[in-house]
Chain A
Amino acid sequence: MAETLFDRLWQLHRIADAGDGADLIAIDRVMLHERTGGVALKSLGEAGRSVMDPSRVFAIMDHVVAFTSGRGRNDSRAPGGNVFITETRAMARKTGIHLIDTDDARQGIVHVVAPELGIALPGASVVCPDSHTCSLGALGALAWGIGSSEAEHAMATGTLRTRKPKQMRIVIHGTLSPHVTAKDLALHLIARHGAAGGQGMAIEFAGEAVNALDMEARLTLCNLAVEFAAFTALIAPDKKTFELVSGAPFAPRKRDMTAAMRHWSMLRTDEGAAFDAAIEIDASDVAPMVSWGNSPEDSLPVSGVVPADAKAKALDYMGLAPGDSLIGKPVKGAFIGSCTNGRLSDLRAAAAILQGHSVAPGVRAVCVPGSQAVLAQAEAEGLDAVFKQAGFEWGAPGCAMCFYAGGDTFPPGTRVISSTNRNFEGRQGPGVRTHLASPATVAASAIVGRIADVRTFEPVLEGV
């Protein structure tokens, strides 16, 4: 029978029927971060249990690490947050799992680091107590976010007991227009079908527009699947995928590479395989998108106006009224970074817009590369100079201003244009009004000091 890529991945990891409609699934890699992983390690130890195979578990510091350059190894951006760093470090050492510490040259946001290092591989099952683990489906990995209890289960047994989810295919035809990115595509999908539109399904993205995306853009697209309430997302691996992972430190050793490539090349959906749901999108319908409310489904083409039926709670929080146009709304904050858009291509796209410009007076603009590797390459290309000359702060890798954990952020009420993934109430700080957008749109808006259309914006020289 014709199988989907997801069927195949599930079958490859299915150890047994676990009863009650669940399967016992083999977990190849567990990743942890200090915010939710430390507690899993701790409670595993308290229960007197050990990690079954420490060589397949990775702890990475990213969520509450300070993002000021030159940070010390225990410095947290969250008041009291250093205990998450020190306790996770101590437990990682005690259990013998891999530790990628705050001062490690490999450090960065877990979902950015995993493909760089080959922790996530095509066909591998990867879990992490973090909802954006679905990003790694972009490599053709069976990757999904779990809770801390499930992380304990995966570490103690090398497995999870899970019911196989339903499946959806999202085919994206045609070509994305200039200045329209994977971020815009994902926001377009969520705006059109709702934040619950993925219905807990495993989603395979396919079609010529997806094939044309580079690996970083694919990671961005799959990253946002959780904002669509998907179980996870997947893209069939191809030449671009194999190129990305083959040089990585945790990639298959040379002597295993031929077998691995043979295995990876069968990771695709058969002609005629059945899905439980399907969505088709024409890439040429997608415009640069900006969110207006407190759910990613509250997103619009940048030229749009706040809908007449907008929820009062969101309007009140965001300081908007129905009929307001997004373009021209003054912003006082801009952030580029996160596991959604903190990779090299994102920084390049933003720098291309910023080159030769400055951010508008009164705008606090911050760029935090997603990993040390991204930071090093960006600096080698001189991108840091472009950001700094434009007036951006240039931070040290981590989640940074993607979420508020106490500590430094924008003042309450600040309207912020952000390359992150969540515009929830308080996500970037109490009262902070987050508008999600692509890195290029963030850069253009920072220059203008207002939400701007990256395709047509004109820098205004206020006060000159």
Chain B
Amino acid sequence: MSEPFRTLTSHAVTLMIDNVDTDQIIPSREMKTVSRAGLADGLFAGWRYNAPGTREIETGFILNEPPFNEAKILISGSNFGCGSSREHAVWALAEYGFRAIIAVSFGSIFRANCARNGLLAVALPEDHLEAVATFASGGDNITVDLPDQAVSWGTSQANFQMDAYEKRLLLEGLDPIGLTQSSQSLIDRFIADDRAERPWIYPQTAK
């Protein structure tokens, strides 16, 4: 489904604010077609460009400044990706070239969307996050290691917690639908029993 994730070493962009919502990551006006693709240009459009709808670069916004324009890692504050469920936010980040986001915490739908698109969401406690952000803002590389669940910068390192299922999705680049369809007989049996228990859940048509 998506490219398997093992380790990643890259510059990191720091956006040290809390509650970066998915409207900021990809403004709704940038979602122009019924498609998962073609969204990278709209990433952070409100901050990256100097007027809505234009593509004139806003100088001073970190994503526009070398070497951070090549970063594959984004570092932010708490509750990153809160707000609208739009998976377009993750598609835009991934298409732009980001492969990992490090933050204090994430919006829960955003986080689930990440794992299904090869984007690693790493939650670090505030003190570690500040240390890694300070280091990265100097323009040096940091490393994210998924098998070991560790972020390292300079001579420092911090481990992170990770949902085991989402870790597997990322490590193996799994297709969850195919995985679930391999348990189809379990699902069919459940539905047969449940249909007897709760027949109103399974109307063929409205009454």
Contacts and interface: CB of A to CB of B under 8 A. Distances in A.
B180 A49 contact: no
A56 B202 contact: yes
B191 A39 contact: no
A161 B201 contact: no
A124 B116 CA distance: 25
B155 interface: no
Given A39-B35, A87-B34, A149 B116 contact: yes
B201 A28 contact: yes
A35 to B, nearest CB: 7
A313 B17 contact: yes
A403 B86 CA distance: 13
Contact of A200 (B33, B108, B117, B198): B108
Contacts of B78: 196
B117 A196 contact: no
A147 B18 CA distance: 22
Contact of A422 (B17, B21, B88): B21
A102 interface: no
A229 B28 contact: no
Nearest to A427: B23
B165 A22 contact: yes
Size bin of chain B's contact surface: 35 or more
B180 A405 contact: no
Contacts of B201: 28, 56, 121, 124
B199 interface: yes
B23 A36 contact: no
Contacts of A425: 23-24, 46
| Majority DSSP secondary structure for residues of A touching B | loop
Interface string A120-163: 01011000011100000000000001111110110011110111
Contacts of B163: 20-22, 163
A462 interface: no
Contacts of A253: 200, 203, 207
Contacts of B53: 406
A149 B113 contact: yes
A131 B85 CA distance: 5
A157 B187 contact: yes
Interface stretch (A11-19, A169-177, A212-220, A341-349): A11-19
B200 A19 contact: no
Contacts of A84: 34
A265 interface: no
A313 B24 CA distance: 14
A227 B164 CA distance: 26
A312 B8 CA distance: 34
A149 B117 contact: yes
A329 interface: no
Contacts of B116: 147, 149-150
Interface in A343-368: none
A88 B202 contact: no
A295 B159 CA distance: 30
A404 interface: yes
B29 A405 contact: yes
Given A56-B202, A195-B79, A229-B107, A161 B165 contact: yes
B186 A404 contact: no
A199 B207 CA distance: 40
Interface string A197-223: 001100000000000000000000000
Interface string B49-84: 000110000000000000000000000001100111
Interface string A3-41: 000000000000110111110101010000001101100
A301 interface: no
25 contacts: A22-B164, A39-B35, A39-B36, A53-B202, A83-B33, A84-B34, A121-B200, A130-B84, A147-B86, A149-B176, A150-B116, A153-B177, A156-B181, A159-B180, A161-B165, A165-B108, A196-B78, A196-B82, A231-B108, A256-B200, A259-B199, A294-B19, A404-B27, A430-B46, A430-B52
Interface of A: 15-16, 18-22, 24, 26, 28, 35-36, 38-39, 42-43, 47, 49, 53, 55-56, 78, 80, 83-84, 87-88, 121, 123-124, 129-131, 145-150, 152-153, 156-159, 161-163, 165, 195-196, 199-200, 227, 229, 231, 249-253, 256, 259-260, 263, 294-295, 297, 311, 313, 403-406, 422, 424-427, 430
Given A55-B203, A157-B177, A404-B29, 4 more contacts: A43-B36, A49-B177, A200-B108, A406-B29
